[in-house]
Structure 1
C-alpha cells in the first residue's frame, strides 16, 4: 500500500541479519538476495538495499552511516581492497540486477549518489568504490552517464574527482580495451568531458596528459588528446563553412583552411 509509512529500518534489519548469516560467502549472499526479493520490498527500498551492500547500513547525507541502526560488516567497504574481491562483489550486483531488472535505474542513481559522497568516505572506501564502479562499467551493469557526478564542483576543486577517476579507469581498462571504454563514453556524450575532472585553471591537454600518463593511463590521455583535436577540427570546419556561406573572400577561407 503506497500510503504505508516509508520505514526502511525494518527492511535494513532483515537485510543486515541475512548478510550477517551468510558472512563472507558471496555465493550465499547472492542466493539470499535472490530469495529475499520475493519477501521484501526491493522496489520501495532500493536505496537502502544498495547502501547496505556497499557501506553496511543506510547512509546519511554526506556519506556517514546512520548510527541508530544495526549495520553489517559484510559489505563492499569492509571487504578486501583488491580487484579480485571487487570482481566478486560486482557479480553479486550483476546477479541481483539481472534477477530484479527494476533495480537497474535505482542502482545507477545509487552509484551517482555515492560518487557525490566521496569526500565522506575513507581513501580505502573510495578505492574500493572506484574499482567496483570500473568493473560494473566494463560489464555493462552501469551507464557511463554516472560519471557526471564526478564533475561536481567541490569534488573537482579538491582533486577528489581526478584521483577517483584514475582508479576507476584503471579498473575499467583492466577489464576492457580503450575502444570499448571510448564507445561507452561516446554513447552518453562523456567522451569530450573528461577535462572537467580538473578545476578550470588546470583544464589543459598538457595537464591532462601529464596527470594520466604519470598514473600509467597513457591510452586514456591519448584518447582525450585525440578527442580534443577532433573537436578543434570540427569547430574550424564549421567556421570555414560559415564563411563560405556568407560569401567571404576566398583568400580568407583559404588562409584558415591552411591551418585546418
Structure 2
C-alpha cells in the first residue's frame, strides 16, 4: 500500500499569499502506486482524479475503488460461428443399398453353383454388412438376382463396368421342387442364424406376391414352390397369402393360378390336414373364394377349378367350408323363427326346404335344431331349477325333434350332441338322464339307439357320469326288451 500526501504546491498562488490559505494535508491509502503522469493508464488516472477531488478528508473505501475498476475492465471478445464436433454415436450412416448389393452380388458370383459356399459367404459377410438395415435388398437378390423396383422389374444402374445381377438366386434355379428345396436351405440356414430376418422375410414375401404381374410364368411357378416349401417348414405364416387378394392379380387370374401351384406343392411338403390348420390359424380358410373374380366364386366353379388342377382335397375342403357357412346361416334363421314363436309346422317346412336346397343331411339338421332350441332361452343358474326349466322347454319342441330323427344315424347324432352340451354346461350335468327319458317317451330316441350309445357309441366327454346316470334306465330297457322277446316266444 502506498502512502500519498496531497498538499498545495509551493508555487501555487491564488492571487496573493494572504488571500488563499493552504490546502489541508491529508494522507490517503491507495491500492495502486502512483507513477509519473505519462506512465499512468486511463483507469488509474481516473482513480487519481477521484482521490484528488476528495477534499473533505473522508477516506474512499477500497470496495468503491474495486467496483470502479471492475466496471472499467475491457470486455473480452466472444467467439461466433464456431462448429461443434458431432459425436461418433450421433453420426448417421448413409443409406446406400447399391453398395450393399454390389458386395452381395460379387460374393455370390464367386461362390457360383456351390450353394454351400454361398451359405458360408452369407454367414461370414454378416459381420461386415448390415443385414438388419438392408434385409429387403438381401432377399431381393436371393430371390430375383438383384434389387427390385416397384412392380417387380430389376433395377439397373446403367454402369456396365459393375455386375449388378447374380445367377445364384431363386429365379435362376431349375423349375423343379427338389431344386427349389435345395435353394431354400440357403434361406433357412440364414434364418436359423439370424432370427431377426424372419420378420423381414415375411414382409419381403408380402411384396413379392403383389408383384406377380412383373414376373414371368416360370418365375411365378418357382416362387409358388418356394413359398410352399417355406410355409411347410414353418418359416413363413400363411398370412402372407393376403397379398394375393389385390384387384389387379385377381382380375387377370394370377391369384387363382398361383394359389393352385402353391397348394399343390404345399400338400406334397406336408398334408391337407396341416394346410387347413395353417389356413384357419391365419383366417385365410374363409377367403379362398376371393382369389377368383366376383362372378366366379360359386362353389361349383371353385370345386371344378381345383379338381382340374389336381387338388381334389382342396375342392372337398371348400365344399365343406361352403356347407359350414350355409349351416350357420340356416341355424341363425331357425333361431330367429323359434324366438318369434313361429308354429312348429312352419319351422318344419322351412327346414326341409333348406335341407333340400343345400344338401344337408337329417343328422346335421337334428343337431342344428338342438343348438337353436337350447340357445333361444336364458337358463336358470341354479342346478335344481334348470332341470325343470329344460324339460318344460324341450317338451314343446318334441314334435320338431321327432320329425328329423327318422333314421338311427340322426338319433345317435342328436344323443351325442345332448351329451356334449350337458358336459360343456355344468348346470346340465344332472339333467342328462331326464332329457334322455323325455326323448324316449316322445319317440325321438329309440331303445336300440340308447342301448347302442350306452354300450359302445358314447363320447369320451363325461362318459363316467352319464353312463352311471342312465344305468338304471338302460337296465329297465334291457329287461323290457327281454320280456317282450319272451312274450313273442
| Coarse TM-score class (shorter-chain normalised) | over 0.9
Write the distance in 1 (CA, Å) between the matches of 2:188 and 2:94: 30
Match among 152, 175, 190 for residue 246 of structure 2: 152
**Which of 63, 76, 95 is residue 6 of structure 1 equivalent to?**
95
Q: Within 5 Å, which residues of 2 pair with 1:176-191?
A: 176-191=270-285
For the pair 1:114 / 2:203, whether they are aligned, the reply is no
CA distance in 2, matches of 1:152, 1:171: 22
Shift of 1:177: 0.8
Corresponding position: 1:62 with 2:151: yes
1:53 matched to 2:142? The reply is yes
Q: 1:165 aligns with which of 259, 267, 285?
A: 259
* 1:226-237 map, 5 Å: 226-237=320-331
User: What TM-score do the two structures reach when normalised by structure 2?
Assistant: 0.51
Q: Do structure 1's residue 202 and structure 2's residue 296 form an aligned pair?
A: yes
1:27 has 2:116 as partner: yes
SS at match of 1:192: helix
Alpha-carbon RMSD across the aligned residues, in angstroms, is 1.6
Please state if 1:86 is matched with 2:180: yes
Match of 2:453 in 1: none
Q: 2:336 aligns with which of 228, 231, 242?
A: 242
**Cα distance between partner residues in 1 of 2:308 and 2:188:** 32
Q: Distance in 1 between matches of 2:346 and 2:126?
A: 68
**For 1:114 and 1:50, how far apart are their aligned partners in 2?**
10
Return closer, same or farther for 1:218/1:2 CA change in 2, 3 Å cut-off. farther
Match of 2:430 in 1: none
Question: Could you report, residue by residue, the CA deviation over 1:186-209 in whole angstroms, capped at 9, with x for unpaired residues?
Answer: 000011111111100111111111
1:15 to 104, 119, 122: 104
Alpha-carbon distance in 1 for matches of 2:187, 2:339: 54
How far 1:247 sits from its partner (Å)? Answer: 4.0
Give the number of the structure with larger relative contact order, counting CA–CA contacts within 8 Å between residues 6 or more apart. 1
C-alpha deviations, 1:92-151, integer Å up to 9, x for none?
Answer: 111111111111111011111111101101111111001100111111111111111111
Indicate the structure with greater helix content.
Answer: 1
Q: Which residue of 2 aligns with 1:192?
A: 286
CA distance in 1, matches of 2:348, 2:128: 71
Measure the CA separation in 2 of the matches of 1:176 and 1:242.
42
Aligned counterparts of 1:203 and 1:27: Cα–Cα separation in 2: 45
- 1:162 deviation in Å? 0.8
For residue 171 of structure 2, what is the aligned residue in structure 1? Answer: 77
Question: Shift of the alpha carbon at 1:252?
Answer: 3.9
Deviates more, 1:48-57 or 1:23-32: 23-32
- Structure 2 vs 1, CA of residues 81 and 246 (structure 1 numbering), >3 Å: closer, same or farther? same
Question: 1:2, 1:116 → 2: CA distance?
Answer: 36
Structure 2 equivalent of residue 103 of structure 1: 197
Distance, in Å, in 1 between the alignment partners of 2:91 and 2:191 is: 23
Sort the Cα spacing of 1:2 and 1:245 in 2 relative to 1 into closer, same or farther, 3 A.
Answer: farther
Structure 1 residue 60: Cα displacement: 0.3
Corresponding residue of 2:311: 217
> CA shift at 1:38, angstroms?
2.4
Taking a change above 3 Å as real, the CA distance of residues 150 and 20 of structure 1, as seen in their structure-2 partners, is same
Flag structure 2 segments of 5+ consecutive residues without an equivalent: 1-89, 158-162, 356-364, 366-489
Pair 2,238 (structure 1): closer, same or farther in 2 beyond 3 Å: farther
Distance 1:106 1:256 in 2: 53
Q: Does 1:135 align with 2:229?
A: yes
Q: Summarize deviations over 1:40-64 as a string: whole Å, max 9, x none.
A: 1111111000000000010000000
Go from structure 1 to structure 2 and tell me whether the alpha carbon gap of 1:245 and 1:82 turns closer, same or farther (over 3 Å shift). Answer: same
The number of residue pairs the alignment matches comes to: 260
TM-score normalised by L of structure 1: 0.95
